[in-house]
Amino acid sequence: MVDSTGRRRFMQLAGTGTALSIAGCNALQSGSETTADGTDDGSTGDGDRVAVQVQPDQQELQQQQMEVQSQVQSGNMSRQEAQQEMQRIQEEMTGEVATTFENRLSDESDLTIDDSLDQFGVFLVSGSPSALLGTLSYEEVSALLAEEDFQQVKSRLQQQSGTPSE
């Protein structure tokens, strides 16, 4: 079995670099200053906001996929049924990690969920830059994205569903 620790650590570090650049840009745009220890000095009072993406354990998801594929190969399930089952499994697993993330943040006083796209496991989170970066240590967090990315996805979903934008 392949150990994904190296890849996961690489992705965390790459995400940290991206998050740092995003946090740095947001700090410059908002006029907020960061102290030497990396905490916000509170000059804006708003904190920074980023989109946090969570995803299910990929090994578990892959295992579920292999089980469904074996059902197809044995003739117990059609390909269409398999696709529907995999979609259901992915939605269920994403919902579970989204709930885990929400519960974790409800225990954290430094971070606030401002908005979410639960079906995609994406949350708009605000807090200090150091607390936002700290989310990368959460097992369920796969990426930190710019707030603008969250807003674009939300706008597209609203256009598709016919819901007016806020």
pLDDT tens by residue, 104-156: 988 877 899 999 988 889 999 999 999 999 999 999 999 999 999 999 989 98
Say if 70 falls within a structural domain: yes
**Residue at 38: amino acid letter:** G
pTM of whole model > 0.75?
Answer: no
Query: What φ, ψ does residue 143 adopt, rounded to 5°?
Result: -165, 150
Say if 166 falls within a structural domain: no
Helices and strands, counts by H and E, the chain: 5, 4
Structure token pair of residue 73: 């190969």
**Neighbouring C-beta atoms of residue 74, cutoff 10 Å:** 8
pLDDT band at residue 165 under the 50/70/90 scheme: low
Say if 106 falls within a structural domain: yes
Averaged pLDDT of the chain: 77
Q: What range does the domain containing 55 cover?
A: 5-161
Report the number of distinct structural domains present in the chain.
1
Say if 101 falls within a structural domain: yes
Q: Is 92 exposed, middle or buried (0-12, 13-18, 19+ CB in 10 A)?
A: exposed
Say if 135 falls within a structural domain: yes
State the Cα–Cα distance between residues 165 and 90, nearest whole angstrom.
28
Spatial contact of 126 and 5, defined as CB atoms under 8 Å apart: no
Structure token pair of residue 153: 């996805």
Query: What φ, ψ does residue 4 adopt, rounded to 5°?
Result: -90, 5
